[in-house]
Amino acid sequence: MKQHKRVALAALTITLLLAGCVTPQAANQAAGNIGEVRLVAQWPVEPPPNGIAVGPGGTVYVTINNSHRVVGYSPVGEPLAEWPVEEEPDAIAAGPDGTVYVTINNSHRVVRYGSAGELLGVYEVTCRDCGVIETNGIAVGPDGSILVTINNSHRVVHLSAAGEYLDEWAIEGAAAGIAAGPEGTVYVTINNSHRVVHYSAAGELLGSWEVTCRDCGVIETNGITVGSDGSVYVTINNSHRVVQHSASGEYVQEWAYEGEAAGLAAGPEGLVYIADQAGSRVLAFQTRP
């Protein structure tokens, strides 16, 4: 299907979903959802998206590796902004002031942009005795400070919003994803594992829990995000599920999605977005009744 036809179809789908012409039950049945979760919007992204983040005003940002771009959308998929990234972008996060941070693939750099794509700075990520640094995930705390995972050294590095080194701590294994809660604590999923590890903003271990879901078999957690109410969402790619937990790890609900979740991001009012790399699209779910 040509791009303009795909965009028109996506706009129609969004309109019908939001207007109620397509019932939430029908959308849920198609997506295989469980519990109160509803699919409320979806739109195409070409080439396929990689990372995803939501800004304070609800703007949805995605990184596109193949074309070295960041694209910003409204909460229902209307294009708002687009800008090039000099190298291949990887993870993306948005700060409380609307700034956007992008890690560069196979690099040790974080690039900072304004919400419209203006370049604000480039930060070199350093850590103690790390050797070659390869940044992976990124998150922004409620105070605007930046958290970056370094997979090959099993570290989280904490930077100020201006890129100054603040602290770092070791984690048990390679991180698959990182997220910051509204109170400043940090959540990390461990690669090839089914655990979420919870840290204070200073790196103190607060706890961990095992992720479970129905009929999932072997669980390999991937992305993670935290909602404004403190709910923790984790993707399980090999089972195509998102599992919702409370801030302390209690199971809340889960739902299925079609595709491959390359990124996961929480928006306002219980919205959760998936960057579906296999389907070249963004999916938006409402997790509240």
What does the pLDDT read at residue 28? 44
Instruction: Quote the pLDDT of residue 35.
Output: 59
C-alpha separations of 27 from 8, 223, 255 in Å: 19, 23, 12
280 vs 276: CA distance, rounded Å: 6
Residue ranges of the alpha helices (H) in the chain? 3-19, 24-31
**DSSP codes, 149-195:** EEGGGTEEEEE-TT--EEEEEE-SS-EEEEEE-TTS-EEEEETTS-E
DSSP lists the bridge partners of residue 41 as 284
Longest dimension (CA), the chain: 58
Strands 155-159, 146-150: pairing kind: antiparallel
How far apart, in whole angstroms, are the C-alpha atoms of residue 239 and residue 228? 26
The residue type at 288: R
Cβ atoms 124, 103 nearer than 8 A: no
CA–CA dist 53, 246 (Å, integer) = 20
Position 40 scores a pLDDT of 96
Contact in structure between 186 and 146 (CB atoms under 8 Å): no
Question: Taking the model in full, what pTM does it have?
Answer: 0.87
Residue ranges, the chain, pLDDT below 50: 1-33
Which domains, and CATH codes, for the chain?
3-286 (2.120.10.30)
Contact yes or no for 257/276 (Cβ under 8 A): yes
> What is residue 193's predicted lDDT score, i.e. its pLDDT?
82
Tell me what pLDDT residue 201 has.
Answer: 93
Does a cis peptide bond (omega within 30 degrees of 0) precede residue 47? yes
Quote the pLDDT of residue 7.
Answer: 39
